């Protein structure tokens, strides 16, 4: 069996355990010690042979990273020191599942070989907000299995660090509300176990992640009854967060008159997720129009991965408090952790950014359009790294699988891992 080399980890005692028994198995360079039985200088030949199934790097990728240039050599001559030994450090690639065979041959033609296979390892700590729906152990195991994926040779071992107590609870975490996000950061920071830094990220499970905006409209001309009904297109903000006021403004404009009537909050009553009843009994019985502005749920996020800090936030509920199924939560975890470690690289053929979504994504299964959020999809997205849950799979497509296998997961190359939130 080949020896495992955990190429993204630094050579440090902290990373021993979890399948790593010695420091020689850490780092992108293997440490070879050639020892002859007799003291004295000995000439020998060393060969480095790559397996035919190793990851293939493009010329552009090779230019950008010295560890993406997996040079091999045949019968390179070396000479030991006078004690009959020589220690060498030879680089491997940073991809998962790459195999290399080293063969030593002395001047008499005697040969000895050793094989190495590359692995990657990251640590994560899962924290929950008070009130967040529990995420099952089977869901988290499924997440870990997707990134290990022996069949696809991804070999990213996700090791869970024991979590802490739940953090202070909010019904909703609006990521545009910096003050609220800062509270999530501060509370999580108190429970984050830094021992595995800089190879560790934190996943915080919260209840909802809804965004709010104003919806405006005007009802058609009519004679007011005692109670009028306003129906918004989107759910009222208070459905997602009881602490957010949905009422913005209501004005009655009589036809042909310059006078207008404004409504105070006590004249308004929420009667459903997107229904507001307005007490109009005090209005004159003449034709007019009711104009409104209401605060509504303008969007829902499944999660967010902060580019320059080791923090991921994942929602466990929809806007109305309904629990998200495990398959949806798994999808978001895989997607956001994919972002956390560098997905999707620009070199990938199905890469896109913006177009109604935020960040780098994959359009496998569909065609590029101007705006994926408002436009009509041409085909069905078939990758977890598409920019929305319109793609219903938790799997990485073949393009993303190839990219994920080749990613440089060293902390030095990933600000989203090495930078504490």
Q: pLDDT digit string (tens) for 261-272?
A: 999 999 999 999
pTM over 0.95: no
- What are the C-alpha distances in Å from 363 to residues 348, 356, 372, 383, 405? 11, 13, 10, 7, 19
Q: In what order do the strands lie in the sheet with 275-279?
A: 227-231, 275-279, 268-272
pLDDT digits (tens, 9 = 90+) for 6-50: 999 999 999 999 889 999 999 999 999 999 999 999 999 999 999
Helix 137-148 with 326-340: angle, nearest 10 deg: 40
Q: Could you give the 3-state DSSP secondary structure of residue 396?
A: coil
Distance CA 359, CA 381 (A): 17
Distance CA 249, CA 407 (A): 51
Instruction: Name the token pair of 23.
Output: 């420091």
CA atoms within 13 A on the CB side of 363: 22
Distance CA 369, CA 250 (A): 38
Report the first-to-last Cα separation within the chain, whole angstroms.
40
How, if at all, do strands 156-161 and 111-128 pair?
Answer: parallel
How, if at all, do strands 261-262 and 247-254 pair?
Answer: antiparallel
Res 259 pLDDT > 90: no
pLDDT category at 216 given cuts 50, 70, 90 is: very high
Res 96 pLDDT > 90: yes
How, if at all, do strands 311-315 and 200-206 pair?
Answer: parallel
pLDDT value of residue 19: 87
CA angle 128, 133, 138 (to 5 degrees): 90
- Counting residues of the chain whose pLDDT is more than 90, the rounded percentage is 91
């Amino acid at each position: 069996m080949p020896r495992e080399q955990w190429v993204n980890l630094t050579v440090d005692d902290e990373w021993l355990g979890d399948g790593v028994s010695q420091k020689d198995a850490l780092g992108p360079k293997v440490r070879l010690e050639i020892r002859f039985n007799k003291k004295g200088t000995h000439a020998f030949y060393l060969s480095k042979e790559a397996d035919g199934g190793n990851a293939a790097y493009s010329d552009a990728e090779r230019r950008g990273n010295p560890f993406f240039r997996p040079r091999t050599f045949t019968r390179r001559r070396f000479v030991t020191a006078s004690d009959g030994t020589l220690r060498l450090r030879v680089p491997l690639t940073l991809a998962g599942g790459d195999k290399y065979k080293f063969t030593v041959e002395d001047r008499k033609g005697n040969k000895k070989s050793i094989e190495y296979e590359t692995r990657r390892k990251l640590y994560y700590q899962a924290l929950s907000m008070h009130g967040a729906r529990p995420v099952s152990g089977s869901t988290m195991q499924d997440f870990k299995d997707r990134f290990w994926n022996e069949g696809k040779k991804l070999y990213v071992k996700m090791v869970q660090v024991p979590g802490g107590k739940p953090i202070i609870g909010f019904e909703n975490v609006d990521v545009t509300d910096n003050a609220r996000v800062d509270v999530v950061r501060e509370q999580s920071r108190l429970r984050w176990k830094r021992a595995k830094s800089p190879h560790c990220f934190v996943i915080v499970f919260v209840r909802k992640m809804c965004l709010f905006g104003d919806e405006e409209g005007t009802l058609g001309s009519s004679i007011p009854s005692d109670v009028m009904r306003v129906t918004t297109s989107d759910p009222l903000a208070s459905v997602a967060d009881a602490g957010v006021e949905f009422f913005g403004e209501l004005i009655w404009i009589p036809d042909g008159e310059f006078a207008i009537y404004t409504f105070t909050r006590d004249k308004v009553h929420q009667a459903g997720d997107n229904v507001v009843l307005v007490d109009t009994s005090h209005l004159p019985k003449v034709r007019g129009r009711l104009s409104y502005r209401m605060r509504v749920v303008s969007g829902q996020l499944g999660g967010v991965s902060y580019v320059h800090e080791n923090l991921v936030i994942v929602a466990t509920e929809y806007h109305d408090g309904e629990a998200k199924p495990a398959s949806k939560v798994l999808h978001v975890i895989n997607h956001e952790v994919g972002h956390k470690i560098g997905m999707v690289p620009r070199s990938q053929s199905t890469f896109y950014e913006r177009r109604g979504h935020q960040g780098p994504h994959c359009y496998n299964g569909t065609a590029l359009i101007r705006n994926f959020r408002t436009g009509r999809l041409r085909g069905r997205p078939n990758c977890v790294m598409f920019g929305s849950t319109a793609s219903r799979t938790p799997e990485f497509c073949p393009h993303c699988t190839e990219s994920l296998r080749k990613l440089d997961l060293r902390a030095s190359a990933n600000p989203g891992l090495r930078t504490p939130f």
